[in-house]
Amino acid sequence: MPKSTIARALNEGLRKAMEKDSKVLIMGEDVGKLGGVFRVTDGLQKDFGEDRVIDTPLAESGIIGTAVGLAMRGFRPVCEIQFDGFVFPAYDQIVSQVAKFHYRSQGKVSLPITIRIPFGGGIGAVEHHSESPEALFCHIAGLKVVACSSANDAYSMIQQSIASDDPVIFFEPKRRYWEKADFDPAAGAPPLHRARVVRPGADVTIVAYGPMVRTALDAAAAAETEGRSLEVIDLRTLSPLDMDAILESVRRTRRLVVVHEAPGNGGLGGEIAARVTESEFYRLEAPVLRVAGFDTPYPGSQLEDNYLPDLDRVLDAVDRSLDY
Amino acid sequence: MPKSTIARALNEGLRKAMEKDSKVLIMGEDVGKLGGVFRVTDGLQKDFGEDRVIDTPLAESGIIGTAVGLAMRGFRPVCEIQFDGFVFPAYDQIVSQVAKFHYRSQGKVSLPITIRIPFGGGIGAVEHHSESPEALFCHIAGLKVVACSSANDAYSMIQQSIASDDPVIFFEPKRRYWEKADFDPAAGAPPLHRARVVRPGADVTIVAYGPMVRTALDAAAAAETEGRSLEVIDLRTLSPLDMDAILESVRRTRRLVVVHEAPGNGGLGGEIAARVTESEFYRLEAPVLRVAGFDTPYPGSQLEDNYLPDLDRVLDAVDRSLDY
Amino acid sequence: MARDDMARDDGPDRPVAVQAPGSGADATAAAAESELESATKATQAVGNSFLTAGDLDLAALLRSPADPDLVQLLAPEGERVEHPDYAVDFSDAQYRSLYRDLVLVRRIDREASTLQRQGELGIWAPLAGQEAAQIGSARALRPGDMAFPTYREHGVAWCRGVDPLVLLGLFRGVNLGGWDPLEHNFSLYTIVIGAQTLHATGYAMGMQRDGSEDAVIAYFGDGASSQGDVNEAFVYAAVYNAPVVFFCQNNQWAISEPSERQSRIPLYRRASGFGFPGVRVDGNDVLATYAVTEKALADARSGQGPTLVEAFTYRMGAHTSNDDPTRYRLDHELEAWKLKDPLERMKSFLYKQQIADRSFFDDLDTEAETLARQLRKSCREMPEPQPLSIFDDVYVEPTEHLRRQREDYAAYLDSFEDAAVGGGR
Amino acid sequence: MARDDMARDDGPDRPVAVQAPGSGADATAAAAESELESATKATQAVGNSFLTAGDLDLAALLRSPADPDLVQLLAPEGERVEHPDYAVDFSDAQYRSLYRDLVLVRRIDREASTLQRQGELGIWAPLAGQEAAQIGSARALRPGDMAFPTYREHGVAWCRGVDPLVLLGLFRGVNLGGWDPLEHNFSLYTIVIGAQTLHATGYAMGMQRDGSEDAVIAYFGDGASSQGDVNEAFVYAAVYNAPVVFFCQNNQWAISEPSERQSRIPLYRRASGFGFPGVRVDGNDVLATYAVTEKALADARSGQGPTLVEAFTYRMGAHTSNDDPTRYRLDHELEAWKLKDPLERMKSFLYKQQIADRSFFDDLDTEAETLARQLRKSCREMPEPQPLSIFDDVYVEPTEHLRRQREDYAAYLDSFEDAAVGGGR
Ligand SMILES: Cc1ncc(C[n+]2csc(CCOP(=O)(O)OP(=O)(O)O)c2C)c(N)n1
Ligand SMILES: Cc1ncc(C[n+]2csc(CCOP(=O)(O)OP(=O)(O)O)c2C)c(N)n1
Ligand SMILES: [Mg+2]
Ligand SMILES: [Mg+2]
C-alpha cells in the first residue's frame, strides 16, 4: 500500500475539500506562502489564491470571529490555530459564539466552521507548544470535537469535518505529523463520530486518541509478548463520545484504561470513567484507570518524556487493572 | 444569631481584607461608584479611594493582564468578572499567564490574584449571565478554585483567597446573593481547601457546591420525611478537591450523588466519580450518579427551571442510587 | 404589522453623494491632534498621579456641544444647518417617515419598560435618547446590507422589519433570539461586548469574495471600544479593506463608567490609528446621522474600505431595567441632554418647515398607542416554550447522546404526570 | 561573567532631555494623515477586490528608507546626523561600550544558533539585525525600570544582567525561564504574543501607586500589534496615563507575514488612535534608538504617560531555527538591509571619529570569542533537571493531591531501579 504521513494526508484532504466546494476557505497565521509552520496547507494558496487561503493578522480571536461572519455569509472556513497553546485568545469567540449561535438562532443560522489545532507534546518545544486542551472544548455544548491518529483518518476526517454543518474542533497529533504510514485515500471511512477498534483484544480495553493511539498500540504489542491481550480503541470523536463502541468493548474485557496526554484532573478520562462505570457497574472487574499527564503545567522539554504517558505507564496501569 | 446575606458578607470580607493589607486592590467593571452590578463592592471606593478600587475599561483580558503586572509589583488584586459568561475574553491571560507564571519562574514569582466570578443560573437573565464554567478552570494546573455557598463562608473564604499566595478563582452563587442567613463573622473558618459536611446522614452522600448546596439541603430535608438520611457535603474547594472528606463520607454511605448546574459532560461530577470509584471500588453499592445541567447551551430563562437541577431531580437520583 | 411595507413605500431615496471622500476625516485630523495635546497637557498637570481622565477637563472637552468636529445638520432647536461635507435631500414624506420611526420606536421602548416593570419581561435595555442614532443609521442601509447589533438596537431592528414582539421574546426569556438574521439582514442581538464587530468584518470579507455591492454595519458602544475584539476588527477591516461601517453609539456611559474611562480622546479618532477615517456625528440628529452613515456605506461599497462613525448621543434611561443611574450620574446631565432630544428637534423642524401639521402628529400618536396596545397584548399572550425544546438546535446533526438525554428527561417528566406524589414533593 | 559590572562602569549618564514634549509625535501627524490618504487611494484603486495591503505600493511606502518620520542620528554609512527633537551626548567610553554590547550579543546569538544546529538547544530565536534596537532601548533604562520582553530580547536580557547561559536554559528545555524577573527587573520571556504588554501596563500602574519615579518598557513585535491584548494595553495605559513605553520592534516580518498584513499605515501611528504619542525610530541606529527611548521614558517618569516607539528594523535571520525564510522572502531584501547593518554603521562611526582604534576592535573580538567559548562549554555542561522537579512550584502552598501524585511517580520510577525487567520494556 502507498505510504504517506498525517501532514500530507491532511494537505490532500484539504485540497479535496477545496476542489469539491468553492465555499471552503482556509484562514490562519502563515497558512499562505509558508504553508503553515507544519506545511499542512503547503501549496494551497498557490493553487487556490489569496482569497481562499488567507494569511490573517496575528490575532486568533479575529480569525475565529471573522470566520463566524464568513460562515454566516455562506462560506466554510477552515481555521488553523498555529499551536494548541494559542487557541485561548480565541476561546471566547469559540465558546460564546461558534458553539452557541445555532442554538441562539433556534436553528436558523448554522456555522460550518472547522478549527484545526495541532496538539500535544513530545516535540521538544518551548512553553505553550505542547498543550492538550481538548477537555476545554468537550465541555462546551454546541461544539463537536474530534482527533485523528492516522493518515487515512486524517484524510477522511478533515473532509468530513469541513462537510459537517456543525462547528468542529479538529485536533491533530503534531508529534505524529511526519510518521510514515499506510495511506489509502480510496479506503472507505466510518462516520465522523464513530470510534474504532484499532487492535482487537480480550483482557483489557485501552481507550486512546490522537498521539496516544500509537503509544497504546505499542503497549498492546509489548503486552502480547507477556501473554496479555489488549484491545485498543481509537476514540476519534471526543464530543460526542461514541459510548456504544466503548461499552461494547468493556462488556467483553470488563477492564478499561483511558490514556491521554492532558492532565488527568478534569480530563476526558474522568468523563469516560464515570459513564462507563454508571453503565457497567456490575460488569467491571476493576475501576476504570487513567493514564494521563500530571496535574502540573507542561514542563520544560527535557522533562516531557517523564510528563507524558508512555508505553511503560500504560502497561503499569494494565497491571494494576488486572490485579483487581 | 445576626442575619446577613452572601452579598453583604462578601462586601464585609473585602473591606476587612483591604483594611488588613494596603496592597489589596479591587478592580473590575463598575466596581467603583456603582459598587458592582450586584453591589458586592458597595461603598469600598468611597472609603478606600479610586487608586485601590479601580473602575477598569471594558476589557476583561485587560483586567486580568494588568492584575498580573500589579501582582508582580507586589499588589494583591481582587478582580471582579461581572458575570460568568464574560470571563472568556480573559481566559487566555488566566490559563497561560496567571496559572503558569509561578511555575515558569521556578517559584520566583507568585501571583496572589483573586478572580471573583458570580456564577450559575436561576435569576431569569438573558444569555451569558447564567453560566457555570468552573470545570474549565479546575482542569488548569496552577489555579486554585473555590465556591462559597453561605454568608459565613463567603466572609471567611474571600479573605482566605485574598491572603493566599496562589491565584484563586472565586465562584459566587449569584442567585443566593440575597438570601438571608445566619452570619457570625467571629465563627472560626476551616482552611480554604477543606470541604465541609453541612448535613450529616447515613444512607447516601450528596456532594454539591455553590448554589446547589441549598438545593441539596432541601432535598435532604424532603428525603428525611420519607425516612431517608442524606449526608450533604459542601465541596467549597473545587481545585484542589478535598478527596479525604468525600471519601470519608462515601466509605460510610457507600453511595454518592454529585450535583452541579454545569453541563454533566466534562463537569466536575465526572472527575469526582472517577476518583471515588478508583478509591472505593469494592465499597460502593451503586455507581456514582450525577445530577447536572443538560449538555446544551443555557436556554432562555423561561426554561431554566427545567434546565437546572432541582430538589426533585436530586431525589430522583437518590432513588436510583438506592435501587442498586 | 404592516409597517415594514410602509417604511419601504416612503423610504428615502439615496441622496446624492457629497464632497471629497475622506475629507471629513482629514478635516478633523488637526483638531484631533490638538485635542491629543491638551489631553497630554491635562495629564501632565497631575504628574505621576493616577487621577483618571474622567477627573480632568477632558470630560468637558469630550462633552462640549460646540465640538468643531461634530457633524450636525439639524440644530437642537430644529434649525437646519449646513455642513461642508454632508447633506441630505429628502422629500417631505421622507422627513415625516423618519420622524414616524423615531416616535414609534420610542413608544415601543416605553411599552417594553412598562412590561418589564409589570414582570412580563425579565429585563429590558432601553434605547431612549438614541432613537436618531439608530433610525438615522438604519434607514441609510440598503435591503442587501447586513447589520450586526448589540442588545440595544431596537430602532435598527424596527427598520430591518423585525416584529417588536419577536424582539420582546428574548427579554421575556422565551428564547435567545427569535428572528432569522439572514431573512432580515439583521444578526441576532449580541450580548458579549464587541464580539459582533468581528462577525461583521468577516461578513464583509464574504461580500468581497461574492463581488457584492452591499456593505455591513457593525453597532457597538463607547464601552465596547476597549475590547480586544473591537480593535482586532479594526485591524482586519483595515488590512482587508473590508466594506464595513463601524457605528459606535457613544451614549456617554458604559453602565456606570463615563466614556473617558475608555478613551482620553474622542472615540472617532481611534480609526486614525488603524488607517481608516473616523467621523463624529451628532447622534441626536437623525438627518446628520443618516447622511454620515450613508456616505460611509457608499465609501465601503466603492472599495474605500471601513469607516468609524461615532454617533455622539446619550442614554437617557437606565443601562437596563436592573440599573440605577442615580448612583453614578447627576440629574443636571440628563436635563442638559433633554434639551438635545432627538424627537423634539425633528418635531419642531417639521413644524417650522410646515412639513407636517397637527393632524399628522395626532394620527402618529394614535398609531403609536395602537402599536403599543397590540404589543402589550400579544406579549402577555406569548406561548411558553416546551420543556423538551431545550434539546433542540444544539446541533444541525443531532447526537445520540442528546437524543437519549432528551428521552430520559421526557420519561422523568412523565413520571410526575403518573405519580401525583412526584409533583407533590 | 563580570560584564554586568563593566556595563555599569562605563554605562552612559542620562543625556540632557531635549526639545518640546510630544512635538515629535505632532510633527508626524500631517505626514501620517497623507499616508492614510494614499493608503485609501491605493485601496480604492483595487476597488471592491480584497487584494491585501501587501500587494499595494504601501509595501514600498512603509519600507521607504527616505521616510521623513524616521528618527535617525547615525546614517547607515556611519555619519552622525542631527535631528530637531533628539540628540545624544555620550563620552567616547560610552560609545565604545554601546558598540561592545552590540558585538557581544551578536556573538552570543551566533553561538546559540550553532548550539541549536548541534542539537544542544531545542530551538533558538535569533536576534541578528535587531541588536541596535535592543541595546539602544535597554541601555536607556534605569536600574529601577522594569522591562517586559517577548522571546527574542536577548540583547535586552544582556543589558539587564541576565547570564546568557541562563537564557539558553529555556531554549534547551531545562526550564521555562531561569532568571529572577524581580532581581533583574526583566520579566520572563513571554511566548504568547502580546500578553506581556498588559503585564507591563499593570506593573506601571503599580509604580504609580508606589509613587515611584521609575518606568516600564514593554517589548513586542509588528505582528503582535494586531493582538487584542496589545490594543487593550494601549487603552489601559492611556486611560490611566501609566508610565509605560511600548517598544515595538518592527522587523518587517511576523514569521512569513509582512508587516503590511498587520497594518496598512506605519505602526507608530497606532498610538494616535489611543491618544498618546507614537514615534518611528531607525531601529538599526543604536544612538537614535537610545535617544528616542530615553525621551519616552523621561516623559513616562514625568507623568506624561505612555509613548509608542516603533523601532524600524529587520530580522536578518530565520524567525526561529525551525523557520525557512526562503519560502516567503527574497534575498535582495536581506541584501538591502545588510547595508543598514546596526553593527557596521557603529563601527565605521567609531573609526571615522577615531573613538576606537584597531586594538579596541581586536580586544573586543577576543572578548567575544572567549565569551562564546565559555557559553558553548557551560551550555553543554548544563545539568539535566530532576524528573520529580516536574511537581515543584505549581503552587506556593502545595496541595495534598500533587504531593501524592509526586509520591506515586517516585515509587513508579523506583520500581524500574528494583526490577531490571521494568527498564527493559
Ligand atoms: C465581554 C462582556 N463584558 C461585560 C459585559 C457586561 N456589560 C453589559 S453592557 C455593559 C456596558 C456596555 O457599554 P457600551 O459598550 O457603552 O454599550 P451601552 O450599554 O452603553 O449601549 C457591560 C459591561 C458584557 N455584556 N460582555
Ligand atoms: C497568541 C499567539 N499566537 C501565535 C503564536 C505563534 N507565533 C510565535 S512568533 C509569531 C510571530 C510574531 O511576530 P512579531 O510579533 O512580529 O514578532 P517577531 O517574531 O517578528 O519578533 C507567531 C505567530 C504565538 N506565539 N502566540
Ligand atoms: Mg455606552
Ligand atoms: Mg516581527
What's the grid cell of residue A79? 481555521
Residue among D395, D397, D400, D406 with most chain B CBs within 10 A, to mutate? D395
Chain B, chain D: beta-carbon pairs less than 8 Å apart: 137
* Residue B228 to residues A297, B249, B258, C416, Cα–Cα distance (Å): 44, 16, 17, 20
Predicted confidence at residue D417, as pLDDT, reads: 82
* Residue A92 to residues A97, A145, A176, B89, C230, Cα–Cα distance (Å): 7, 17, 29, 5, 13
Question: With helix as H, strand as E and coil as C, how does chain D read?
Answer: CCHHHHHHHCCCCCCCCCCCCCHHHHHHHHHHHHHHHHHHHHHHHCCCCCCCHHHCCHHHHHHCCCCCCEECCECCCCCECCCCCCCCCCCHHHHHHHHHHHHHHHHHHHHHHHHHHCCCCCCCCCCCCCHHHHHHHHHCCCCCCEEECCCCCHHHHHHCCCCHHHHHHHHHCCCCCCCCHHHHCECCCCCCCCHHHHHHHHHHHHHHHHCCCCCEEEEEECHHHHCHHHHHHHHHHHHHCCCEEEEEEECCEECCEEHHHCCCCCHHHHHHHCCCCEEEEECCCHHHHHHHHHHHHHHHHCCCCCEEEEEECCCCCCCCCCCCHHHCCCHHHHHHHHCCCHHHHHHHHHHHCCCCCHHHHHHHHHHHHHHHHHHHHHHHCCCCCCHHHHHCCCCCCCCHHHHHHHHHHHHHHHHHHHCHHHHHC
CA of D222 to the centre of ligand 2 (A): 9
Predicted confidence at residue D6, as pLDDT, reads: 33
CA of D253 to the centre of ligand 4 (A): 4
CA of D315 to the centre of ligand 2 (A): 13
What distance in Å separates the CA atoms of residue D16 and residue D21, rounded to the nearest whole number?
Answer: 13
Which chains does D contact via 3+ CB–CB distances below 8 A? A, B, C
ipTM of the shown complex:
0.94
Work out the number of other CB atoms within 10 angstroms of the CB of residue B241.
23
State the alpha helices, DSSP H only, in D241-357: 286-301, 331-338, 342-352
Whether the pLDDT of residue D29 is over 80: the answer is: no
Which chains does A contact via 3+ CB–CB distances below 8 A? B, C, D
What distance in Å separates the CA atoms of residue C85 and residue B3, rounded to the nearest whole number?
Answer: 64
User: Scanning the structure block, which residue is given the C-alpha cell 453560566?
Assistant: B131
What distance in Å separates the CA atoms of residue B324 and residue A282, rounded to the nearest whole number?
Answer: 10
Q: Which helix (H) or strand (E) holds A9?
A: helix A6-20
CA of C239 to the centre of ligand 1 (A): 27
Question: Does residue A94 contact residue A143 with C-beta atoms inside 8 Å?
Answer: yes
Which chains does C contact via 3+ CB–CB distances below 8 A? A, B, D
In the set B129, B139, B193, B260, the catalytic residue is B129
CA of A273 to the centre of ligand 3 (A): 48
Q: Which helix (H) or strand (E) holds D280?
A: strand D278-282
Indicate the angle between helix axes D358-380 and D92-117, nearest 10 degrees: 40
Assign C377 a pLDDT band (cuts: 50, 70, 90).
very high
What distance in Å separates the CA atoms of residue A84 and residue D159, rounded to the nearest whole number?
Answer: 33
Partners of residue B92 in chain A, C-beta under 8 Å: 88-89, 91
Q: Which helix (H) or strand (E) holds A250?
A: helix A243-253
Angle, alpha carbons C28-C33-C38 (nearest 5°): 125
Q: Supply φ then ψ for residue C244, to 5 degrees.
A: -130, 135
User: Scanning the structure block, which residue is given the C-alpha cell 511503560?
Assistant: A312
CB contact under 8 Å between A166 and C395, yes or no, is yes
CB contact under 8 Å between D199 and B69, yes or no, is yes
Assign C419 a pLDDT band (cuts: 50, 70, 90).
low
Which residue(s) pair with C207 in the sheet?
none
Question: Does residue B278 contact residue B284 with C-beta atoms inside 8 Å?
Answer: no
- Mean local confidence (pLDDT), D122-148: 98
Q: Identity (one letter) of the amino acid at B60? A: E
Could you tell which of A58, A84, A129 is best to mutate to test the pocket of ligand 2, judged by most ligand atoms within 8 Å of the CB?
Answer: A58
Residue among B96, B104, B143, B322 with most chain A CBs within 10 A, to mutate? B96
- Mean local confidence (pLDDT), B193-208: 98
- Mean local confidence (pLDDT), D87-97: 97
The catalytic site residues of D sit at 315, 319, 328
Predicted confidence at residue D66, as pLDDT, reads: 54
Predicted confidence at residue C211, as pLDDT, reads: 97
Whether the pLDDT of residue D423 is over 50: the answer is: no
Residue A70: name the closest of D256, C368, C204, C48 by CA.
Answer: C204
- Residue A56's closest chain C neighbor by CA? C236
Closest chain C C-alpha to B1 CA, distance in angstroms: 30
What distance in Å separates the CA atoms of residue C3 and residue C9, rounded to the nearest whole number?
Answer: 10
CB contact under 8 Å between D395 and B144, yes or no, is yes
CB contact under 8 Å between A105 and C188, yes or no, is yes
What's the grid cell of residue B177? 446573593
Q: Identity (one letter) of the amino acid at B132? A: S
Q: What letter would DSSP give residue B85?
A: G
Q: Which of C327-341, D40-54, D411-425 has the lowest mean pLDDT?
A: D40-54
What's the grid cell of residue D359? 586594538
Q: Identity (one letter) of the amino acid at D336? A: A
What's the grid cell of residue D224? 503582535
CB contact under 8 Å between B62 and D236, yes or no, is yes
Predicted confidence at residue C26, as pLDDT, reads: 37
Assign A18 a pLDDT band (cuts: 50, 70, 90).
very high
Closest chain B C-alpha to D374 CA, distance in angstroms: 25
- Mean local confidence (pLDDT), A267-273: 98
Q: What letter would DSSP give residue D150?
A: -
Ligand with an atom nearest the CA of residue A125: 2
Between A186 and D153, the more confident residue is D153
Helix (H, G, I), strand (E, B) or coil at C56: coil
Tell whether D39 lies on the interface with C, counting CB pairs under 8 A: yes
Q: Which of A12-21, B32-41, C416-425, D216-225 has the lowest mean pLDDT?
A: C416-425
> Given 3-state DSSP classes, what are the helix, strand and coil percentages for chain A, each rounded to the nearest 5?
40, 20, 40
Average pLDDT of chain D, as a whole number: 87
State the alpha helices, DSSP H only, in chain B: 6-20, 44-48, 60-72, 91-92, 101-104, 135-138, 151-163, 211-225, 243-253, 268-279, 304-307, 311-322
Report the DSSP pairing between strands A230-234 and B24-28: unpaired
Which residue(s) pair with A77 in the sheet?
A25
Closest chain B C-alpha to A296 CA, distance in angstroms: 5
Q: What is the pLDDT of residues D348-407, one digit of tens each?
A: 999 999 999 999 999 999 999 999 999 999 999 999 999 999 999 999 999 999 999 999
Residue D258: name the closest of D424, D110, D52 by CA.
Answer: D52
CB contact under 8 Å between B103 and D394, yes or no, is yes
> Given 3-state DSSP classes, what are the helix, strand and coil percentages for chain C, each rounded to the nearest 5?
55, 10, 40
> DSSP per residue over A87-140, as a string?
SGGGHHIIIIIITTHHHHTTTS-----EEEEEE---S---TTSS---THHHHTS
Q: Supply φ then ψ for residue D278, to 5 degrees.
A: -125, 140
What's the grid cell of residue A308? 507524558
CA of D191 to the centre of ligand 2 (A): 8
Partners of residue D187 in chain B, C-beta under 8 Å: 72
Q: What is the pLDDT of residues B148-193, one digit of tens each?
A: 999 999 999 999 999 999 999 999 999 999 999 999 999 888 999 9
CA of D74 to the centre of ligand 2 (A): 30
| Ligand 1 pocket list (CB less than 6 A) | B 29, 58, 60, 82, 86, 89; C 152, 191-193, 221-224, 251, 253-255, 315, 319
Assign B239 a pLDDT band (cuts: 50, 70, 90).
very high
Q: What's the order of all strands across the beta sheet hosting D216-221? A: D70-71, D278-282, D307-312, D244-250, D216-221, D146-148
- Residue D54's closest chain A neighbor by CA? A55
> DSSP per residue over C15-32, as a string?
PPP-SSTTHHHHHHHHHH
Question: Using a 6 Å cutoff on CB, does residue D81 contact ligand 2?
Answer: no
Whether the pLDDT of residue C194 is over 90: the answer is: yes
Q: What is the pLDDT of residues A90-128, one digit of tens each?
A: 999 999 999 999 999 999 999 999 999 999 999 999 999
Question: Does residue D296 contact residue D86 with C-beta atoms inside 8 Å?
Answer: no
How far does Cα B216 stand from its chain's mean position? 15
CA of C260 to the centre of ligand 3 (A): 11
Question: Does residue A22 contact residue A47 with C-beta atoms inside 8 Å?
Answer: no
What's the grid cell of residue A73? 455569509
> DSSP per residue over D170-186, as a string?
HHHTS-S--S-HHHHTB
What atom in ligand 2 is closest to the CA of residue D250? 16
Assign D420 a pLDDT band (cuts: 50, 70, 90).
low
b/e A123-155 (16+ beta carbons within 10 angstroms → b): bbbbbbbbbbbbbbbbbbbbbbbbbbbbbbbbb
Q: What is the pLDDT of residues C145-183, one digit of tens each?
A: 999 999 999 999 999 999 999 999 999 999 999 999 999
Q: What letter would DSSP give residue B285?
A: S
Q: Which residue puts its alpha carbon closest to atom 11 of ligand 2?
A: D254
Which residue(s) pair with B171 in the sheet?
B117, B147
In the set A129, A139, A193, A260, the catalytic residue is A129
Q: Which of D43, D208, D260 sits opposite C305 (nearest CB)?
A: D43
Q: Which residue puts its alpha carbon closest to atom 13 of ligand 1?
A: C254
Predicted confidence at residue D299, as pLDDT, reads: 98
Whether the pLDDT of residue A185 is over 50: the answer is: yes
Whether the pLDDT of residue C422 is over 50: the answer is: no
CB contact under 8 Å between D206 and B92, yes or no, is no
Q: Which helix (H) or strand (E) holds A45?
A: helix A44-48
What distance in Å separates the CA atoms of residue A43 and residue B19, rounded to the nearest whole number?
Answer: 63
Predicted confidence at residue D419, as pLDDT, reads: 66
Partners of residue A24 in chain C, C-beta under 8 Å: none
What atom in ligand 2 is closest to the CA of residue D249? 21
Partners of residue B294 in chain A, C-beta under 8 Å: 141
Predicted confidence at residue C37, as pLDDT, reads: 46
Question: Using a 6 Å cutoff on CB, does residue D191 contact ligand 2?
Answer: yes
Ligand 3 being an ion, which residues bring their Cβ within 5 A of it?
A: C 221-222, 251, 254
What atom in ligand 1 is closest to the CA of residue C249? 21
Partners of residue C224 in chain B, C-beta under 8 Å: 58
Could you tell which of D255, D310, D321, D329 is best to mutate to test the pocket of ligand 2, judged by most ligand atoms within 8 Å of the CB?
Answer: D255
Partners of residue D220 in chain B, C-beta under 8 Å: none
What distance in Å separates the CA atoms of residue A49 and residue A88, rounded to the nearest whole number?
Answer: 29
Ligand with an atom nearest the CA of residue C130: 1
